[in-house]
Structure 1
Amino acid sequence: MHYISTRGGMRPARFTEVLLSGLAPDGGLVVPLALPSLSADCLEAWRCLDYAALASKVIGLFATDVPEADLQTMTAVAYGPQRFPAPVVPVRDHSAVVAGLHLVGLSEGPTMAFKDLAMQFLGQAVPYVLDKQGQVLNILGATSGDTGSAAEHAFRGQDAVNVFMLSPAGRMSPVQRAQMYSLHDPNIHNIAVEGVFDDCQDLVKTLSNDIAFKERYSLGAVNSINIGRIVAQAVYYVWAWLRVTDRVEERRRSDFQVDVCVPSGNFGNVYAGHIVRSMGLPIRRLIVATNENNVLEEFFSTGIYTPRSAEATLATSSPSMDISKASNLERFLWSLLGPERFSRAWRELEDCGSLDLSDQVERIREEFGFIAMSSSHAKRLETIRFMSSHGVTVDPHTADGITTALNLMEPSFPTLVLETARPEKFLGTVGEALGFPQPIPNTVSKLLALPQRKTTITADEQELRTIIATNAVTANSSTFQ
Structure 2
Amino acid sequence: MKYLSTRGGMAPLPFCDILLEGLAPDGGLTLPASLPKLSSVQLEAWRNLDYADLAAQVLGLFIDDMTPEALQRMTRAAYAPSVFPRIAPVKPLSSGLSLLGLSEGPTLAFKDMAMQFLGEVFEAVLAQRGQTLNILGATSGDTGSAAEYALRGKKGVAVFMLSPHGRMSDFQRAQMYSLQDANIHNLAVRGVFDECQDIVKALSGDLAFKSAHHLGAVNSINWARIAAQVVYYVWGWLRMTHLPGEEVSFAVPSGNFGNILAGHIARQMGLPIRRLVLATNENNVLEEFFRTGVYRPRSARQTLATSSPSMDISRASNFERFIFDLVGRDPRRVVTLMQELKQNGQFDLSALKPKFTAEYGFVAGSSSHADRLQTIRSVHQEAGVLIDPHTADGVKVAREHLEDGVPMLVLETALPAKFSATIEEATGIRPPVPEALADLSRREQRVRIIDCSVQQVADYVQQHAL
Asked whether the two chains share a fold, i.e. TM above 0.5, the reply is yes
Say whether residues 1:464 and 2:463 are aligned partners. Answer: no
CA contact (8 A) 2:416 2:431 kept: no
2:206 to 192, 203, 210: 210
Distance across 1 between alignment mates of 2:20 and 2:131: 10
Distance across 2 between alignment mates of 1:367 and 1:111: 36
Q: Which residue of 1 aligns with 2:439?
A: 446
Q: Which residue of 2 aligns with 1:397?
A: 390
CA contact (8 A) 2:119 2:154 kept: no
Distance across 1 between alignment mates of 2:58 and 2:430: 42
Q: How does 1:378-389 map to 2 (within 5 A)?
A: 378-389=370-381
Say whether residues 1:323 and 2:316 are aligned partners. Answer: no
Q: Which residue of 2 aligns with 1:142?
A: 138
| Post-superposition CA distance 1:146-189 (Å, at most 9, x none) | 00000000010123000000000001111100110000111000
| Post-superposition CA distance 1:362-411 (Å, at most 9, x none) | 11111001111000000000000001112010000000000001112111
Say whether residues 1:277 and 2:273 are aligned partners. Answer: no
Say whether residues 1:343 and 2:339 are aligned partners. Answer: no
Q: Which residue of 2 aligns with 1:24?
A: 24
Q: Which residue of 1 aligns with 2:50?
A: 50
How far residue 92 of structure 1 moved from its aligned partner, in angstroms, is 2.1
Distance across 1 between alignment mates of 2:151 and 2:441: 21
Q: Which residue of 2 aligns with 1:479?
A: none
CA contact (8 A) 2:417 2:432 kept: no
Three-state SS of the structure 1 residue aligned to 2:27 is coil
Three-state SS of the structure 2 residue aligned to 1:183 is coil
Q: Which residue of 2 aligns with 1:93?
A: 92
Say whether residues 1:300 and 2:296 are aligned partners. Answer: no
Q: Which residue of 2 aligns with 1:41?
A: 41
The letter of the residue matching 2:281 is N
Three-state SS of the structure 2 residue aligned to 1:466 is helix
Name structure 2 gaps, 5 residues minimum: none
Distance across 1 between alignment mates of 2:405 and 2:272: 14
Three-state SS of the structure 2 residue aligned to 1:308 is coil
Q: How does 1:127-276 map to 2 (within 5 A)?
A: 127-245=123-241, 248=242, 253-276=243-266
Name structure 1 gaps, 5 residues minimum: 474-481
CA contact (8 A) 1:428 1:438 kept: no
Q: Which residue of 2 aligns with 1:411?
A: 404
Q: Which residue of 1 aligns with 2:422?
A: 429
User: Aligned pairs, how many?
Assistant: 463
Three-state SS of the structure 2 residue aligned to 1:408 is coil
Distance across 2 between alignment mates of 1:357 and 1:43: 35
The letter of the residue matching 1:357 is L
The letter of the residue matching 1:311 is R
Distance across 2 between alignment mates of 1:175 and 1:430: 13
> Measured at CA, do residues 45 and 438 of structure 1 come closer, stay the same or move farther in structure 2, by a change above 3 Å?
closer
How far residue 437 of structure 1 moved from its aligned partner, in angstroms, is 4.6
CA contact (8 A) 2:37 2:269 kept: yes
The letter of the residue matching 1:255 is G
The letter of the residue matching 1:277 is R
Q: Which residue of 1 aligns with 2:356?
A: 364
Say whether residues 1:455 and 2:448 are aligned partners. Answer: yes
Q: Which range moves more in the overlay, 46-55 or 340-349?
A: 340-349
Distance across 2 between alignment mates of 1:239 and 1:396: 24
Three-state SS of the structure 2 residue aligned to 1:62 is coil
Say whether residues 1:119 and 2:115 are aligned partners. Answer: yes
Hey, which bits of structure 1, 4+ residues long, moved more than 3 A?
A: 435-445
| Post-superposition CA distance 1:25-77 (Å, at most 9, x none) | 11100011000100000000000100000000000000111100000000000
How far residue 226 of structure 1 moved from its aligned partner, in angstroms, is 0.4
CA contact (8 A) 1:175 1:444 kept: no
Distance across 2 between alignment mates of 1:281 and 1:40: 8
Distance across 2 between alignment mates of 1:244 and 1:68: 28
> Measured at CA, do residues 448 and 281 of structure 1 come closer, stay the same or move farther in structure 2, by a change above 3 Å?
same
| Post-superposition CA distance 1:133-155 (Å, at most 9, x none) | 11100000000000000000001
Distance across 2 between alignment mates of 1:310 and 1:118: 28
CA contact (8 A) 2:250 2:276 kept: yes
The letter of the residue matching 2:409 is L
How far residue 435 of structure 1 moved from its aligned partner, in angstroms, is 3.2
Give the percent of matched residue pairs that are identical in Structure 1 and Structure 2: 59
The letter of the residue matching 1:392 is V
Distance across 2 between alignment mates of 1:54 and 1:212: 39
Distance across 2 between alignment mates of 1:406 and 1:220: 39
How far residue 441 of structure 1 moved from its aligned partner, in angstroms, is 5.5
Give the structure-1-normalised TM-score: 0.95
Give the structure-2-normalised TM-score: 0.98
Three-state SS of the structure 1 residue aligned to 2:25 is coil
